[in-house]
Amino acid sequence: MTRKTKIICTLGPASESEATLAEMIRAGANVFRLNMSHATHEWVSGIVPRIRKVAAELGRFVAILMDTQGPAIRTGDLETKLDLKPGDIIELTVRGEKSEELYSVDVNYDGLIDDISVGDTVLVDNGVIHLKVLEKRHRRIRCEVLTPGTMGSRRHINLPGVKVNLPPLTAKDLEDVALGARLGVDYVALSFCREPGDVDLLRRVLGEHGSKAQIVAKIEDQVAMSNIQEIIETTDVIMVARGDLGIECAMEEMPIIQRRIVKLCLRYGRPVIVATHMLESMIQNPVPTRAEVTDVANAVFEEADAIMLSGETTIGKYPVSCVRVLDKVARRIEKSGGAGYARDAIYRKDRQKTVHSATVLAATLERSKMMIFTRSGGMANYVSAQRPRDTEIFAFASTEEVCRRIALNWGILPILMPFDPNPDKMIRTAEILLREQKRIEPGDNLVIISDLLAEEKRFDSIQVRPVT
């Protein structure tokens, strides 16, 4: 059987060549991520057609995910790095305010002075340096250093539990989204998504550009977690972005938060991605740590739709090996079973209930395989959300765009095929295609979800056809 958990790879200097892209696709990559925190428009304009070309040559459907930078708060430029020790005083300044303290650094967000409060914790450089706010003086924030560290220029700032009044999309994000729409990317990720309205805004922007790209809401802070159910119901896909989320939340809470998000996504039928630090040691080393293998295994066991590589495939020494490791671990864990969170799924639409009946039926048949026909990807998502463990799912779509879009869904194998107005003829054509590809053989039972034509009206139907 094909691997059900999908693999997302971030592209960069280590993986941008046609040869490496081809190797990664052969190794099992399903989606390529473009990180707009580092990518230029020139680079993106070149890499997107390159991905399409390589995927077409290999006969694979590979989706492209554009990941916006989002409203990040960063320190400014420093002439020399600051060596900070516990007890030192440092001032964070805004709007070019001058400080008389020995240690000070400007911050790129003018509203920080209004959002932050005395007693709040400020985390700098991925949480390495901890600061405690002692006092606010006009445009200066006086802080005590709690942990030792060296502060460099343009370091990322996290504010656990603080709701900042930054816009969901910056001017840079809007320019990047416009580029992605022109190039036809399949997914756009919304960084630092905090509430459902953020998703609505991005959807309006995509609509203005005529893009059908689906939205990936990245869960990265405590504010998002307080709105998690509403965000899940509003967006198309959820990403558990464990980098910033792991800084914003207590480390011992991170596994529980991940599990909670995956459970909720499966309950509401939303694809979910687990991302960040999956094989971090393989940036330098040819093999992963045992802890990393267990982390990957947990995400697969929880039945996340996809697992994602970041630095491992952008700047790492072994990008293709990383994909092979994820593929190998995922295949093994899938054989051992899953957490079964889909058992608590909520079915609100008639089509979801139809799909549920079909997956239950498939589970009772020996050698069952599912055939579905999807015009927009919705039916494929419904089937995938059921997590039919022992059944292969063949999803037929009439456009490459839809085939790429459903490449991220758990368990779905996209197949391009022109649709026929006659449902029965369309099913026969699909069965012939599967025979030619050696994906079915005599003795298999096909559970088919399709249209049924009756008196010039179309209805959803479930059929069982044995392969003879």
| Active-site entry in 139, 194, 218, 242 | 218
Q: How many CA atoms lie within 13 A of 375 on its CB side?
A: 5
What are the residues whose beta carbons fall under 8 Å from the beta carbon of 165, sequence distance 6 or more? 111, 114, 115
Q: Residue ranges of the alpha helices (H) in 254-399? A: 254-268, 290-301, 311-314, 319-336, 350-364, 378-385
Q: Is 276 a catalytic residue?
A: yes
Residue 74 appears among annotated catalytic residues = yes
In DSSP terms, 124 is beta-bridged to 129, 157
Contact 182, 208 (CB under 8 A): no
Complete DSSP assignment for 3-28? --SEEEEE-STTT-SHHHHHHHHHHT
Residue 452: count other Cβ atoms within 10 Å of its Cβ: 13
Within 13 Å, how many C-alpha atoms sit on residue 107's CB side?
Answer: 25
Is residue 5 part of the annotated active site? The answer reads no
Strands 31-35 and 6-10: parallel
Candidate list 3, 33, 142, 387, residue with the active-site label: 33
The CA angle 234-237-242, to the nearest 5 degrees, is: 110
Confirm whether 163 is a catalytic residue: no
Spot the catalytic one: 75, 276, 314, 374: 276
Q: Pick the catalytic residue: 50, 52, 74, 132? A: 74
* β 306-309/368-373 pair status: unpaired
Q: Catalytic site residues? A: 33, 74, 218, 276
